[in-house]
Structure 1
Amino acid sequence: MCGRYTLKTDRRALEKQFRLPELPDFLPRYNLGPTQDGLIIRPGDRPGQKTVAWLRWGLVPAWTRADSDLPLLINARAETAASRPAFRDAWRHRRCLVLADGFYEWTRVGRARIPHHFTVRHGEPFAMAGLWERFDVPDGDATIESFAILTTSANEVVAPHHDRMPAILDPALHDDWVNPLVHDTEVLRRMLGPFPAIEMAARRVDVRVNDIRNDDPECLASPGSSTHANQDRDAPGQLGLDFR
């Protein structure tokens, strides 16, 4: 499962690590949630070209009816996405990299939800496997581009908190994952196993992150050290979106 993540890495570092064209300035994200825009990498028009875009997190299938509520498909299971109607076309034709430098999971202790922040290799940015889709609104001139994050079984670091985790890709597989010429489902699925636990770390953070309206460095503060700690306890109506 992945219902909240961070992307606070400097754009220059992202350009260097992912071999990207110059990125526009953007505000760091400490609590990025569903329906908000996330930064993805997808193929360009020329072979080997990469493009970046900010898309809505929560995939909207192309066949969605205009008069229905837009679905909130934030995650897709790596084991079944290739055959699910909502994801199978994107699996074949529209795979992407979702950039992040951490993600959150929660452990429930009694009535409290205890947040933890998970990172890779001392906090460096990484790419989660994603699927993106384009929805043309009927009887209008609007287009919604959106994405979902693929999930896989949890490794030993994440398992105490949740049985699923985002499918974090080995950097050596980034180009293969977004290559539109790769169609073999089993080849693609083999890219999506749990990331090595030895290369990950988890740290308990302040409950300020439980409210999706909070998006600042104090979301990553040690428990109770936030200057807003007293007002950000798990009060009714302050938990935001969980999406487990």
Structure 2
Amino acid sequence: MCGRFAITLPDDAMTRLFDAAPANDLPPVPRYNVCPTQPISVVISAEGQRRYGPMRWGFIPRWYKTPTDGPLLFNARSETIAEKPSFKEAARKRRCLIPASGFYEWTKEGETRLPWYITRSDAEPMVFAGVWQSWQGPEGARVASCAIVTAEAGPEMARLHERVPVVLEPEEWALWLGEEGHGAARLMDAPGEGALSFARVGTTVNSNRAEGPELIEPIDG
């Protein structure tokens, strides 16, 4: 799964990377401890143009009466995304790219949760596969929301967690966004062996209120 991540790259670098038009109300960066329900920046493709704008991380199905009317859906399992009522329409029609610098997972040592920071081994930005939804509340309020697609982890990642975000390569972005027709389902795999690097970081990040560059600094042990 992916329950926390960091995004440290400037918005102008992201819009150049994706060749996307930026919104005016992007969430601030850098952020070292992004949590579900917080706003994040994502890329969608609509009307022949890529757009880089804010969404709530935590997918809100159409039938929710309020954003908290049911479970918090911040991840979508690749194995069931095409059938699950919450996600199946979005998986066909509303896919997005979610940039990140890295994400966190935890192991346990006794009762202590030990955080790990995971990045691409080649030091390039991570781009998660995502799905999104425009939810309209009973009083007309609209909220754009999204979830990160996850896959079963390979042997390396499975030492930390059984799930891993689907990380897309640049040559896969257009297909995932629907710009190159059908076939996006074949992209929903775990990163290959050696694609990810793992570093133990301090337990300060265990608090969802913690913030700052020290959260991603590797430690010994």
Query: So what's the TM-score if we normalise by structure 1?
Result: 0.83
Distance, in Å, in 1 between the alignment partners of 2:20 and 2:187 is 22
Deviation at 1:70, TM superposition (A): 4.9
SS in 2 for 1:198: coil
* 1:63 partner letter: W
> Residue 31 of structure 1 is aligned with which of 30, 33, 53?
33
Deviation at 1:141, TM superposition (A): 2.7
Any stretches of 5+ residues in structure 1 without a counterpart? 225-244
Deviation at 1:22, TM superposition (A): 5.1
Deviation at 1:170, TM superposition (A): 1.9
Q: Deviations over 1:120-161 (max 9, x none)?
A: 1443212101010111111x1311110010000112331110
Distance, in Å, in 2 between the alignment partners of 1:143 and 1:21 is 21
Specify whether residues 8 and 67 from structure 1 end up closer, same or farther in structure 2 by C-alpha distance, changes over 3 A only: closer
SS in 2 for 1:13: helix
SS in 1 for 2:205: helix
Distance, in Å, in 1 between the alignment partners of 2:30 and 2:68 is 33
Find the counterpart in structure 1 of residue 165 from structure 2: 166
* 2:14 partner letter: L
Deviation at 1:69, TM superposition (A): 2.5
Distance, in Å, in 2 between the alignment partners of 1:23 and 1:123 is 27
Find the counterpart in structure 2 of residue 142 from structure 1: 141
Any stretches of 5+ residues in structure 2 without a counterpart? none
Quote the sequence identity (%): 35
> Residue 190 of structure 1 is aligned with which of 173, 176, 186?
186
Say if 1:116 and 1:204, in contact at 8 Å, map to a contact too.
yes
Find the counterpart in structure 2 of residue 239 from structure 1: none
Specify whether residues 70 and 56 from structure 1 end up closer, same or farther in structure 2 by C-alpha distance, changes over 3 A only: farther
* 1:5 partner letter: F
Q: Deviations over 1:4-43 (max 9, x none)?
A: 0010012333233222335767321101010001111001
Find the counterpart in structure 2 of residue 42 from structure 1: 44
Distance, in Å, in 1 between the alignment partners of 2:14 and 2:67 is 39
Find the counterpart in structure 1 of residue 61 from structure 2: 61
Query: So what's the TM-score if we normalise by structure 2?
Result: 0.91
Q: Which structure is higher in strand share?
A: 2
Say if 1:60 and 1:71, in contact at 8 Å, map to a contact too.
no
Specify whether residues 215 and 98 from structure 1 end up closer, same or farther in structure 2 by C-alpha distance, changes over 3 A only: same
Distance, in Å, in 2 between the alignment partners of 1:214 and 1:68 is 24
Specify whether residues 172 and 30 from structure 1 end up closer, same or farther in structure 2 by C-alpha distance, changes over 3 A only: same
Distance, in Å, in 2 between the alignment partners of 1:70 and 1:129 is 23
CA RMSD of aligned residues (A): 2.0
Find the counterpart in structure 2 of residue 235 from structure 1: none
Distance, in Å, in 1 between the alignment partners of 2:103 and 2:67 is 33
Q: Which has the larger radius of gyration?
A: 1
* 2:92 partner letter: R
* 2:77 partner letter: R
Deviation at 1:176, TM superposition (A): 0.6
Find the counterpart in structure 2 of residue 230 from structure 1: none
Aligned length: 218
Find the counterpart in structure 2 of residue 227 from structure 1: none
* 2:98 partner letter: V
Find the counterpart in structure 1 of residue 217 from structure 2: 221
